[in-house]
Structures are given as structure tokens and as C-alpha cells.
Amino acid sequence: MSIVFHQPSREFHLFNNKISYIIKILPNDQLGQLYFGKRIHDREDFGYLFEAANRPMTSILQDYGFSLEHTRQEYPAYGTTDFRLPALEVLQENGSRLTDFKYESHRIFPGKPGLDGLPATYTEEDREADTLEVTLYDSLLDMKLILLYTIFAEEGAVARSARFENQCSASVQITRAMSLSIDLPDCDYDWIQFSGAWSRERQVKTRRLEQGIQAVSSARGHSSHNHNPFLVLKRPTADEFQGEAMGFSLIYSGNFLAQAEVDTYQVTRVMMGINPFAFSWKLEQGESFQTPEAVMVYSDHGLNGMSQTFHRLYRTRLARGMWRDRVRPVLLNNWEATYFDFDEEKLVNMARAAKEDGVELFVLDDGWFGERSSDSSGLGDWYANRDRLPGGIRGLSEKIEALGLKFGLWVELEMVNPDSELYRQHPDWALQTPGRTPSHGRNQLVLDFSRKEVVDHIYGMIAGILSESKVSYIKWDMNRSITECYSAAFPADRQGEIFHRYILGVYSLYERLIGSFPEILFESCASGGARFDAGMLYYAPQCWTSDDSDAVERIRIQYGTSFGYPVVSMGAHVSAVPNHQLGRVTSIETRGNVAMFGAFGYELDLQRLSQEEREKVRKQIKFMKQYREVIQFGTFYRLQSPFEHNIAAWMVVSEDRRTAIVGYYKILNDVNCEFRRLKLKGLDEDLKYHVKEKGSWFYGDELMNTGLVTTDSSSGQPMPEEVCSDFWSRLYVLKAEE
């Protein structure tokens, strides 16, 4: 891996053995984009890729051949011959928004710097990555713009961010500051977004990229159920296994914008960053503003190749802490089993049954604190409700540990119910706009996390409980979007900063808690998956994927989520039937077979299951413990999409390729069906794999080329009854013969 600067041609070439990224300092000293894609040879001069054409509409430098409108750029501005949406906008005291940031200097260095107060990918050793830092300067504004580019040695990935430094005595308002912007030379792409709503997050939506602007965004204060801060462009001929695909991922949990603008010359401008809508940031003299980081991945091995890069990078160099590389405990969460209706005895009985079946961690969800008997009171009062839990969290956690289980706790630290002690004492601590009626969401208001004293207070309360109790896991929930966003602590000209300051406050609280309690496993959550984003993974290595725990819906949700996020990061539980979200009845096998591809657990009262089902649960837990290393840390392949087929399939392969597990899911039953084969991936061609469920062995090349025969009727035997039903599934376990 290397970053070279060719002085005569003024070009930077970032490359490793997978990708190349080429930037040129343009004749006007702004930065031009020459290439991002598969690795190409280095050369002294790629100037031929700077295609100036004589288009006389507008030009700069009195040169008809050079107009920014027709120039592919790195971090473009509006108003000086480029009419597309820009990467930045800076409102100045005289009302002008024009900027002219010109190359001033650069540094190339090994490793990767952290971003103050923000989540970001990192290196453990400098040799893992090289970083290019380009400093641009606007002499009229006396402002610097510093662009950071990091290329990782082993991955087809580039991480980018931007920082503004104001040196001038006048203040400015930054009203737009993207994390990345890149102009691609054509628009022959399919655009894939991951959109949905509560309980149907990250559904895969694909369409052809077209002239004009296409975008997804959030203005809800969190990254949202509705759209994910992740975007894919793939060649129309590319699929899961071959062809070119690019992924763009924002490491941020607040309002975002992910956009592609195709101009009438078929150039595609992709940009990603904090949503400029409802955003502004005032910079006084000597102050700086750092954007979040965005990661761009290029794959010429299709969508799976792209996803696997994100999986490795995010699992090992975004997630942090003690739990990063550890298999995750099998947990039981009481939420769907009890909702608010529990006391200590009930919880201990549930935990005892869980222990008998092999569960390792018991999680107490919502309802344990303050006067919380429903969702209309108590948020903000982080002390145990002694009517329900006479011994407090400390007493309960000791009882759970005495059973031989670890204990975990739910919190929703960013929120307050008007009916709470906290709100009665500090009504001004909630975000609300003067003179406007605050909108409620789930009967709660959002605490003003842009204020340090609010974050400090919440830290004090929760740290007190964690210090005195035996808590090994925290589920950190966030159950509403932000409305009437306004902070009583900031002046009028800083109100545009509050959404971003809020999320910085959330990050700071996470950082403090992780620092104080490094052994706790954090799982993020926001009404299910409203904050399943790369920003959160920096603090919490796993996230509750969705409130929809129905196995069939979960196939789609987990499939969609896997495009940008690793299997181990997806909280996935077996819940009761009929399913609480949509009333569907699926077998305990299928519920387990879906949930096992994630951070696995149960969300039901095991005591209410039949003995036969309990036996199956025990087998599931045993299986998960045996194979979770492979499932959670192996290479994951999507094989067949539930968005396109009645049969969905995915698989994981261990690092040494000696073990693989295939998840095979038939959504609706069918009759007199076609013969079916599933071509597997990632195996060693020459190894013989024993497939227990087939009672036979096959070479890796057979399984990958002729495929695994999955029609049970092909053997001439009658179909087993279980096959002949809706929502049927099977796991195939492949083990290389010695």
C-alpha cells in the first residue's frame, strides 16, 4: 500500500493491491478527481484523465477549456462555474457564500489519526494504513479546509473526512459540510438504498441511476428506520458474486444526507455527510469544525465482495473494546415475555429456566426504574423501583449471578417523561422551542444532550448503579425522533448546531461509560433498528436489528442489514408465537435458524414452552455455542435474496474454510416444485466436506459448481412433513473431512 505524490503532474495516487484512488491539483489549485476503482499501475502523469473540453458556457482562468461545471472534483463549491450541489457552503458576514479553497500543502504519513469526539475507523499499527492530509486555503476568508484520506493496506477501502479551521477575526456559518464528495466519470449504475420504517428496516431498494438528483436522508435526529446512512452503486451487470460495486457508508448516527447527482454529461457526483437541512455551525476565530468520517469501498467481486470488506473493516477496525473479538453470550431478554408486568420473583424464575437451557446472560428490559409501570412515566429517574425490585438492581443482579448467569440492563438515557422526578426538577433540560407546544413521542421528550451538565447528570446516575451492581451488558435504547429541536443553552445563531451537538453528547456519554466500565458489552437500539449505523458500532459492537422479531420478516431485515454491517453486530432473538408484531406462527426451528445468524438470544418466557420445545431450545443453544465463532466471525455470503425469491439463503465460512454453515429458508410452501440446487461459495475446491443433513460428502468444487441439491424429493423419498409447510428452514453444516 502506498500514497505517492507526483510533483510535476501534481497528482496523488493512493493504492493498495485492490484499489487505486487518484487526485489531481487542478490548474486553479482546487482538487480534481481522476479515478476510483480497481488497482491500476502507477505512472508519473495521469493528466489525460483530466478531460477539459471546449464548452463555452462558463469558464474560469479565462480558459474556454476549463470550467468547473465540466470538471470532476473532490470537494466542490457552488457559484464559480459549477452549478451542481456542492460539498460545502460557508455563509460569510457580508452575505456571500462563495469560497475558493486552493491547495496549500499536504502531508503523507503512516497510520490514521482519530477524530476528536467522533467515531471513526482506526489502526492498531501504523503499517495498517497510510493517510494523506491535504490543506487548502481560502485567502479571502482566511480559512483552512483540511481533507483527510486514509487507505487501508488490506482492504479496498478509503476513509474520508473534512475539517474547517477559521483563522479570520470574522465569524462564519458553515451551512453544508459533506464528509465525502466524489465525481465518477459515468452513470452506468444501479443505485441501492436500504429503507423502511419501524419493524421493517433496511429493505433493499434498487433502481437505475438517472440524470438528476437522487438522495436518501434523515432529519429525525437519529439515522432512522426510514433510510440508512449507507448507499451502494453497482454496475447493472454486477450481482452478488461478480462485477463492480461501490459502497458508501457514513460513520454517524444523526441527521444525514446520502446523494447522487447525475448531470447531463452523465457524470455522477456522490456525496455523503451531515444533512445540510436544519444544519449550520458557527465558527469563530480560532475554532474548527470536523465532519464525521465516511468510508468508500470498491469491489470487483460483486456485492458480497463489497459487504465482506465492510464486515472485516467495521468488525475489526471500527468496533472496539473487550467484546470486539469475543463470541457474544447467548442471552434471554424479558421484554416480549413480560413487557412492564414483572417483579423480582418472576424475573428470577425466568432466569432460572434460561440457565437450565444453556442461556448465559439474562437481560432486564424496560420498566425497572422510577415510577415506570407503563411507557408514560419514569424515564429520567435512573434508580430501581423498589416495589418491583426490593433489592434494587444490585440485589437482582446478585441473584442472577448466583444462578450462574451474567446480568444485563436496559436503559434509555437520552429521554425524559414529563411525568418524572427529573423533568419536575429540570423542565428546561428537554429539547423544546420557546412558545411552541412540544410534540411527544411515546409520551416522552428528548433530553438536551447538547448541554454538558445534562450529560454529566445522567452519567452520574447510571454510573452509580453500574458501580454498585453486577452488570455485564447494557441495552441502550432511544425511542423517538427529535422534534422542536432547540436548546435553551445556546444563542439564536447557534440553534442550527443542536442536532449535531446532541449526537456529540450521546457519543461523549458512550465514551465515558465505556471508559469507566470497559468490561460491559453494549448493544445499541433505537425502537429496534433506528440507529443501526456505523457510528454506533464504534461504541456498541452490536445493535438490536429490529423490533420485528418474526422469523420471516427478519430474513429480509437481516439480509438487507448485511450489505453494510457484520453478522456479529446484529442482535437477533427467538420470540414467542403467535409473533407479537404480526401474529405469524413459525416453528421454533425456523425462528432459531434465522436468529442464529447474529448476536443470538431469546425474547420469551421459556417456562411457557412445551417440554419438546424446551428440548429444541437446548439443542439450538448447544449448536450456537459450538458454531458461533464461525457464524459471528466467519466470512458471510448472501446466496439468494428474499427480496427476489421464495427461497432465501446465506452462508458463513470459517477462516480456515474447513467449516461452513448454510441457512436455507423457504418462505411459502410450494407444490410439485422445480428441482433445486444452491451453489455455495467460499469453500476450498479440493476439500471433501461432509454435509450431515445430506448424510454424504462432496468436494468443495462440487458444492460450488454443481451446487448443493436441496430438493428432498429428488431422492425418491416422500417429502418429510416438516418440509411440506410454510416458513420452513434448514441449516446445513459442512465439515471438511480430516
Catalytic residues: 477, 547
Residues 90-129 that bind ligand DGJ (CB under 6 A): none
Q: Label the pairing between strands 677-678 and 708-709.
A: antiparallel
Q: Which residue has the cell 495521469?
A: 46
DSSP codes of every residue in 635-679: EEEEEE-TTT-SEEEEEEE-TTSSEEEEEEEE-S--SSPPP-EE-
Distance between CA 340 and CA 605 in Å, rounded?
A: 14
Question: Could you give the angle at the alpha carbon of 170 between the alpha carbons of 168 and 173, nearest 5°?
Answer: 105
Measured from the CB atom, the residue of 291 and 334 that comes closer to ligand DGJ is 334
Measured from the CB atom, the residue of 280 and 479 that comes closer to ligand DGJ is 479
User: Rounded to the nearest whole angstrom, what is the least distance from the CB of residue 410 to ligand DGJ in the complex?
Assistant: 6
User: Rounded to the nearest whole angstrom, what is the least distance from the CB of residue 451 to ligand DGJ in the complex?
Assistant: 25
From 210-218, 308-316, 524-532, 556-564, give the range in contact with ligand DGJ by CB under 6 A: 524-532
Residue 183, all three cell numbers: 465525481
Measured from the CB atom, the residue of 221 and 634 that comes closer to ligand DGJ is 221
Measured from the CB atom, the residue of 158 and 359 that comes closer to ligand DGJ is 359
Helix%, strand%, coil% for the chain, nearest 5? 25, 30, 45
479 binds ligand DGJ per the rule CB under 6 A: yes
Q: Which residue has the cell 469453500?
A: 683
Residues 406-445 that bind ligand DGJ (CB under 6 A): 410
- Tell me if residue 28 falls in helix, strand or coil: coil
- Interface with ligand DGJ (CB under 6 A), residue from 279, 310, 544, 597: 544
- Interface with ligand DGJ (CB under 6 A), residue from 229, 528, 560, 566: 528
* Through-space distance between the first and last CA atoms of the chain, rounded to whole angstroms: 37
Residues 346-405 that bind ligand DGJ (CB under 6 A): 365-366
User: Residue 358, class by beta-carbon neighbours within 10 Å (0-12 exposed, 13-18 middle, 19+ buried)?
Assistant: middle
User: Residue 55, class by beta-carbon neighbours within 10 Å (0-12 exposed, 13-18 middle, 19+ buried)?
Assistant: middle
- Interface with ligand DGJ (CB under 6 A), residue from 35, 189, 314, 335: 335
Measured from the CB atom, the residue of 128 and 365 that comes closer to ligand DGJ is 365
Distance between CA 26 and CA 36 in Å, rounded?
A: 17
For residues 446 and 480, the answer to whether their CB atoms sit within 8 Å is: yes
477 binds ligand DGJ per the rule CB under 6 A: yes
Q: Which residue is nearest to ligand DGJ (CB)?
A: 366
Give bridge partners of residue 710 from the DSSP assignment.
none
User: Rounded to the nearest whole angstrom, what is the least distance from the CB of residue 273 to ligand DGJ in the complex?
Assistant: 27
User: Rounded to the nearest whole angstrom, what is the least distance from the CB of residue 583 to ligand DGJ in the complex?
Assistant: 18
576 binds ligand DGJ per the rule CB under 6 A: no
User: Rounded to the nearest whole angstrom, what is the least distance from the CB of residue 603 to ligand DGJ in the complex?
Assistant: 8
From 80-88, 158-166, 399-407, 522-530, give the range in contact with ligand DGJ by CB under 6 A: 522-530
Distance between CA 356 and CA 348 in Å, rounded?
A: 12
User: Rounded to the nearest whole angstrom, what is the least distance from the CB of residue 549 to ligand DGJ in the complex?
Assistant: 9
From 128-136, 200-208, 355-363, 521-529, give the range in contact with ligand DGJ by CB under 6 A: 521-529
User: Rounded to the nearest whole angstrom, what is the least distance from the CB of residue 393 to ligand DGJ in the complex?
Assistant: 16
Q: Which residue has the cell 470538471?
A: 71
Measured from the CB atom, the residue of 145 and 478 that comes closer to ligand DGJ is 478
Distance between CA 155 and CA 423 in Å, rounded?
A: 48
**Site size toward ligand DGJ, by CB under 6 A:** 11
Distance between CA 302 and CA 35 in Å, rounded?
A: 19
Tell me the backbone φ, ψ of residue 681, rounded to 5 degrees: -135, 160
Measured from the CB atom, the residue of 16 and 472 that comes closer to ligand DGJ is 472
Measured from the CB atom, the residue of 533 and 547 that comes closer to ligand DGJ is 547
Listed residue (158, 152, 217) closest to 23, CA to CA: 158
Distance between CA 520 and CA 404 in Å, rounded?
A: 17
- Tell me if residue 362 falls in helix, strand or coil: strand
Residues 2-21 that bind ligand DGJ (CB under 6 A): none
Distance between CA 7 and CA 557 in Å, rounded?
A: 49
> Cα 390 vs. chain centroid, distance in angstroms?
39
For residues 540 and 509, the answer to whether their CB atoms sit within 8 Å is: no
Measured from the CB atom, the residue of 13 and 475 that comes closer to ligand DGJ is 475
User: Rounded to the nearest whole angstrom, what is the least distance from the CB of residue 112 to ligand DGJ in the complex?
Assistant: 33
Q: Which residue has the cell 480430516?
A: 738
- Interface with ligand DGJ (CB under 6 A), residue from 525, 555, 568, 708: 525
Whole-angstrom CA distances from 126 to 113, 152, 575 are 10, 10, 45
User: Rounded to the nearest whole angstrom, what is the least distance from the CB of residue 528 to ligand DGJ in the complex?
Assistant: 4
- Interface with ligand DGJ (CB under 6 A), residue from 67, 217, 385, 527: 527
547 binds ligand DGJ per the rule CB under 6 A: yes
Measured from the CB atom, the residue of 224 and 479 that comes closer to ligand DGJ is 479
32 binds ligand DGJ per the rule CB under 6 A: no
For residues 297 and 309, the answer to whether their CB atoms sit within 8 Å is: yes
User: Rounded to the nearest whole angstrom, what is the least distance from the CB of residue 221 to ligand DGJ in the complex?
Assistant: 16
Measured from the Cβ of residue 316, the count of other Cβ atoms closer than 10 Å reads 18
From 36-44, 302-310, 424-432, 520-528, give the range in contact with ligand DGJ by CB under 6 A: 520-528
Would you tell me which residues interact with ligand DGJ (CB under 6 A)?
335, 365-366, 410, 477, 479, 525, 527-528, 544, 547
